[in-house]
Structures are given as C-alpha cells and as structure tokens.
Amino acid sequence: MARSMRETERKYAVPDADISWLSDLAGAGPVASVADQGVRELDAVYYDSDDLRLTRTRASLRRRTGGTDAGWHLKLPLPGDSREEIRTSSMSEDVPEELRCLTLSRTRGAVLRPVVRIRSSRSPHRLLDAEGDVLAELSVDQVSAEVLLDDEGRTAWTELEVELVQDGDPALLDSVEKVLRKNGLDRAQSPSKVFRALTEATSLLRRAPDASDARADVAPGTAGRHVLAYTDRLVGALMDLDPAVRRDTPDSVHRMRTTARRLRGCLRSYRSVFDREVTDPVRRDLKWLANELGAERDHEVLRDRLTSEVRELSGELVLGPVEARLKAWDVARRTEARRRTLDALASPRYLGLLNGLKSLTEAPPLRASKAAGKPGKVFRKVLRKEYRRLAGRMEPALVMASGPERDTAIHDARKAAKRLRYAAEAARPALGKPARRLGKRAKAVQQVSGAQHDSVVTRDALRRLAVSAHAAGEPGFTWGVLHGQEGAAAAARERQLPEAWSKARAAARKKALRS
C-alpha cells in the first residue's frame, strides 16, 4: 500500500566543495544549530517512457536503494516549492501497478522503462530549533548520472537541497536562502535530478516537441491565443487531478468533473475558433467522463446533505432506525459509484480522451480566420449567444406553475447559466471587468437554480428511502419530515431566482456584450 506525503524543498547549485560556512545557518529564522548526520550512499534508477512523458511534465518515478526510504517513489508537482511524494516499500524491479496507474494521465499508457541511473553521496544536516526539534534537513549531494537510453551519456554535479519537515513553515526556506545566497549559492535551474541528467547528458529533452511551433501562425493577443491559454490550463488541471481521483483524495472527483465540464464548455462555446471535426469527438468524451464521475460526485453531495439533515432533527422527530438505513444506503451506493469512476479511468475511451487532449494542446486544431481575429469581437459574440440561450430558457421557467415541468425547465436554465459562466471565465483576460461581472452573475443564477435542483433530487431519494423503510416495516415519518423540509427549501430558492436573474440580465446589458 503506497503512502503519500507533501515534500517542500528548494534546490541550489553548489559551485565548489567548501561547505564550512554551514554553521552560519544558526540564527537563520528559528534555526539554533546545525547537526551533521554523516554520509549516505543512495542509488536510484528513474523510469519513464522512451519520449520522457513523465520528465516533460515535471513528474518522476524512481526505484531507490540506500538511505532511510528505500523503495519506489513517485513525485508529482504541486504549486510553489512543493511536490507530492507517493512511496511504496516494494523493491521489485517491476513498476508497482498502483504507481503505474497514478502516472497514466501523463504517460497515456506508454511503457515505462529505466532511463537514468543516479548515484548520490549525500551529506545530510538537520536544522534544529532551540528545543532541539528538527525544522528542516539540508543535504549536500555529490551526484553522478548515467543515461540508460539509446542516447547514452554521463554527467556529474554537486547540489544542495533544503527540505522542510512535514507541516514546516515555508518562511524558513526564505531565511535559509538568504544565508545560502551570501555564500554564493543560487537556485538550481533544473526542477529535479533526472531532468538535469537528461538535459546535460543527452539531447533528448532539447528535442522536445514545442507546442509554440504549432502556434507560430497564431499571433499573441488574438482570440486563438486567449482560448488556447484557457484550454491549456484546463488540460493541465485534468491531468494533475487524475492521480488524486484514483486515490480518492477529498473533493478530487468534484474538481475533475468540473474541469471536464469547463473544458467541454469552452470547446463548445468557442467552436468557431476550432476545427469541429477534431474537437467534437473530444467534447463527446469529456461529456462521457463528466457523467461517469457524476455518479460518485452526486452521491457524495446527496449523502452529505441527508446525513446533515438527519443529525439536525430533534430527537422526537427521528423514529425508527433512520441512521442505520441511511448508512446502509450510503455504503451500497458509494461502492457502486466508486467502481464506476475507477472503471472509467481504466477504460480505452479515457485513454483515447487523454491522447485527444494532448493533441489539442500540442497541435491545436484552430480555424485560422477566426483564431486570428480580435478577441473582443469573438468573445462578445460568444457571450451574446450564450446569454440568449440562457434567457430563452429562464424567462419561460419563471412564469411556469410549480411542479415537475418547472423543475425540469429550471434545471435546463441552470445548465445554460453554467455555459455562460464558463464562457465568461474564458473571456475574462480579454474583456476584463465586464466579463468578470457577467460571469459572477451567471454563477449566482447557477447556484440558486442548482440549489433548487438539489432539493428536487433529494426529495426523490427521500421518497425511495421511505418506500424501502415501509417495506421493511419501519416508520416512514422521519423521511416524510425531511421531504417536507426539502419542499420548503426548493420553494425558497424559486423565490430567490427572479432577483438573481434580474442581476444577470443587468450585467449582460452593460459593456460585456456590446460590440
């Protein structure tokens, strides 16, 4: 079973072997003393695809011997100075299946093989506070690297790492860095040892596909460049969220589903900028992925809502084994939904989607005439179209009588509000404040109508729970009480909807949609 930890560190280039100045670190922030830990000999073999898909995305996978953490390590980038490190103590020469799955969004199924062997003679030093507690570990590594691919090469260097203990204060890194800079050390240019080895010893990374080559005809500041910047960010986010979803990290399914929806919405709203023969299949696969993830996400929302409502009821309103039935329902539905998520991520269709998204970023299928256009004109046209779609759904919904037909109409309007929100989000860098304001108002409409829809879904679940309870000879009173509460909540949201829509309409009439 792999375990995960957050690693926060900085790397520095060491120009010479003299590190006698390390004692100067005493007094850097809370550092009171520096404790030498001797020397450790480390030997690591790094695995990647032949075209280095992990290294190119700032991830690394290695099998290490020596030191205190021998085994397999997968490192995934996080913002700033941090990375997520996922470890397993297995010493098998075969990549552990769990780690191989966690790399899939980057490797897209390519075979992993040894690419670099790195030996390090490490001299670790603990940075201690006045009480003797460890704040960070500073290591000086004498590194030798051997490339194991056909394009062979060797290189060697010395580097210094400063790694915080778990939950350490990042401000300490700044204090330590001031001392390091005074002693002639600058930040290392490479993000990892394997990246540096492949850069210095071979030409493999220098022959990397350059997405900018495929965009040479798309001038900066054009509509195409703005839309591509947005899609690039979303494709990267989807790739980064994949390992978190596989490991069932809190909120990861929700974030991946939302990212897929945003990306699909962008490709749909701005389809005039793209070649639809290329993007339409990607859009269909993104819709499929969002639907597959939706089973688990929708259950999460419904479970949390029902659990909270039951706990908030006063004791005299809870009749029968309500919590036990709710728990049994949760276990059965959660297991099924989780399996559906994992099956989707293991499917050939998902692998095809990953390849399609990679092609979308590396060789964007742009329509030259539209992509080269002024962003203001292109974005405003799209926002007007999405606003008209929303208005065409919201206005009839607001005058309908309460009931299933109106519930469906509000739900359809909610989906249109979401599309307008995402379109405005993509347009914000080009249109600025008007797009931001419109997106904010569309979001409010989405949230109010979404809350109304949640009540509709919850009432349906409560009715089914009540039927199951009745069939088992249990009281249905509590489920009826909750059903009534949800009906009142839905009615309250419906009363809020006209005001939210009025504000969205006012925002649309301002600069956001003017030519």
Q: What is the domain partition of the chain in residue ranges? A: 3-207, 209-373, 374-515
Rounded CA gap, 462 and 479, in Å?
6
- Model pTM score: 0.91
Q: What is the pLDDT of residues 318-345, one digit of tens each?
A: 999 999 999 999 999 999 999 999 999 9
Q: Which residues of 88-119 are buried (b: 16+ CB within 10 A; e: fewer)?
A: bebeeeebbebbbbbbbbbbbebebeebbbbb
Percent of the chain with pLDDT over 90: 85
Residue 208 pLDDT exceeds 60: no
* pLDDT per position as a tens digit, 399-444: 999 999 999 999 999 999 999 999 999 999 999 999 999 999 999 9
pLDDT in tens, 157-177: 999 999 999 889 999 999 999
Nearest to 127 by CA among 6, 36, 21: 36
Higher pLDDT pick, 216 / 417: 417
Does residue 230 have a pLDDT over 50? yes
Q: Which amino acid is at 96?
A: P
Mean pLDDT of 52-63: 95
Structure tokens at 254: 């929700």
b/e sequence 312-342, b meaning 16+ C-beta within 10 Å: eeeeeebebebeebbeebbeebeeebeebbe
Between residues 219 and 114, which one has the greater pLDDT? 114
Q: In whole angstroms, what is the distance from residue 136 CA to residue 34 CA?
A: 10
- Reported as type and span, the H/E element at residue 191 is none
What amino acid occupies position 177?
A: E
Q: How far is CA 177 from CA 18, 126, 173, 486, in A?
A: 17, 15, 6, 56
Question: How many angstroms separate the CA atoms of 198 and 206, rounded?
Answer: 9
pLDDT of residue 369: 83
Does pLDDT of 511 surpass 70?
Answer: no
Beta strands per DSSP E along 40-81? 40-48, 60-65, 71-77
Computed over its alpha carbons, how large is the radius of gyration of the chain?
Answer: 28
Q: Are 3 and 92 in contact (CB under 8 A)?
A: no
**CA–CA distance, 240 with 252 (Å, rounded to integer):** 10
Question: Where residue 494 falls among pLDDT bands split at 50, 70, 90?
Answer: very high
pLDDT confidence of 93, banded at 50, 70, 90?
Answer: confident
Which pLDDT score, from 0 to 100, does residue 510 have? 73
| Per-residue model confidence (pLDDT) at position 209 | 52
Would you say residue 195 has pLDDT above 80?
A: yes
Residue 512 has pLDDT above 60, yes or no: no
Asked whether the CA dihedral 5, 10, 13, 14 is positive or negative, the reply is negative
| Tokens 């390992």 sit on residue | 243
User: CA distances (Å), 323 to each of 134, 284, 490, in order?
Assistant: 45, 39, 24
pLDDT digits (tens, 9 = 90+) for 11-36: 999 987 677 888 899 999 999 999 99
Reported as type and span, the H/E element at residue 96 is none
Q: For 255, list phi and psi in degrees, rounded to 5.
A: -65, -40
Distance in angstroms (rounded) separating the CA atoms of residues 163 and 173 = 8
SS3 48: strand
**Whole-number pLDDT of residue 368:** 84
Quickly state the pLDDT bin for 515 (edges 50, 70, 90).
low
The predicted structure's pLDDT at residue 513: 66
Which residues, 6 or more positions from 419, have their beta carbon under 8 angstroms from its beta carbon?
Answer: 265, 268, 269, 386, 389, 390
Q: Please, what is the average pLDDT of the chain? A: 93
Q: How confident is the model at residue 207 (pLDDT cuts 50, 70, 90)?
A: low
Q: Is residue 1 predicted with pLDDT exceeding 90? A: no
pLDDT value of residue 214: 56
CB 112 within 8 A of CB 74: no
Residue-level pLDDT at 219: 81
Homologous superfamily (CATH) of 3-207 is Hypothetical Protein Pfu-838710-001 (2.40.320.10)
Close Cβ partners of 241 (under 8 Å, ≥ 6 residues apart)? 252, 255, 256, 259
CA separation for the pair 203, 152 (Å, rounded): 10
The confidence score (pLDDT) of residue 44 equals: 97
Whether residue 386 contacts residue 419, with contact meaning beta carbons closer than 8 Å, is answered with: yes
Residue type, 314: S
| Confidence grade of residue 211 (pLDDT, cut at 50, 70, 90) | very low
